[in-house]
């Protein structure tokens, strides 16, 4: 058998075999990627169900607000007043706690936007709370956007709150 016969008979078969193995490997890789992605969503969804740290942070926010004489129990879903915002801004602890709480809500909404949180889990557990806190903290967010000269601060939180309030989720 000479090289010309080998190239005409066997090289196409070898090429077909290697291409087939490559295609099968690609299919398994895609399947593994999808399974891994589903696992990450499940894992993230599970992580966002727990409320221990979040509850502690929210309690600290309430305590700081109560100490300042603003927004105490019973809760009323109304926007903070300009006077309330001034009191928070003049108190370092209240400012840090409010910002930390808003950062938490921002992280949750960002995870939702990137598909890391199951939509049904998010809507069942967090949607009403997102709307509630957006209503209460919207004036504070607007003031902070001015102060920090950052119009995009807590942007995902606001985007999701408007989406939920508009009935799109």
Question: Rounded to two decimals, what is the model's pTM?
Answer: 0.70
Q: Is there a single domain that holds both residue 4 and residue 67?
A: no
- 45-73 pLDDT per residue, tens: 545 555 667 888 889 999 999 999 997 66
* One-letter-per-residue 3-state SS of the chain: CCHHHHHHHHHHHHHHHHHHHHHHHHHHHHHHHHHHHHHHHHHHHHHHHCCHHHHHHHHHHHHHHHHHCCCCCCCCCCCCCHHHHHHHHHCHHHHHHHHHHHHHHHHHHHHHHCCCCCHHHHHHHCHHHHHHHHHHHHHHHHHHHHHHCCCCCCHHHHHHHHHHHCCCC
Q: Is there a single domain that holds both residue 79 and residue 30?
A: no
Q: Is there a single domain that holds both residue 24 and residue 71?
A: no
The arithmetic mean of pLDDT across residues 40-48, rounded, is 57
The arithmetic mean of pLDDT across residues 143-153, rounded, is 93
* Mean of all residue pLDDT scores within the chain: 85
Q: Is there a single domain that holds both residue 15 and residue 98?
A: no
The parent domain of residue 89 ranges over: 50-169
Percentage of the chain beyond pLDDT 90 is 47
- 1-37 pLDDT per residue, tens: 688 887 888 888 888 899 999 999 999 888 888 777 7
Domain tally, the chain: 2
Q: Is there a single domain that holds both residue 157 and residue 81?
A: yes
Q: Is there a single domain that holds both residue 130 and residue 72?
A: yes
Q: Is there a single domain that holds both residue 68 and residue 26?
A: no
- 68-87 pLDDT per residue, tens: 999 766 677 889 999 999 99
């Amino acid at each position: 058998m000479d090289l010309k016969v080998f190239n005409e008979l066997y090289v196409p078969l070898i090429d077909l075999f290697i291409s087939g193995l490559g295609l099968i490997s690609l299919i398994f890789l895609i399947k593994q990627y999808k399974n891994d992605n589903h696992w990450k969503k499940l894992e993230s969804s599970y992580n966002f169900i727990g409320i221990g740290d979040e509850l502690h942070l929210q309690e600290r926010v309430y305590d700081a607000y109560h100490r300042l004489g603003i927004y105490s129990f019973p809760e009323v879903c109304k926007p903070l007043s300009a006077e309330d915002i001034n009191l928070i801004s003049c108190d370092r602890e209240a400012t840090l706690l409010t910002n930390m709480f808003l950062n938490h809500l921002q992280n949750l909404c960002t995870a939702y936007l990137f598909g890391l949180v199951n939509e049904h889990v998010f809507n069942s557990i967090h949607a009403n709370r997102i709307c509630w806190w957006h209503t209460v903290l919207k004036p504070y967010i607007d003031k902070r956007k001015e102060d920090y000269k950052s119009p995009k601060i807590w942007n995902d939180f606001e985007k999701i709150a408007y989406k939920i309030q508009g009935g799109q989720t």
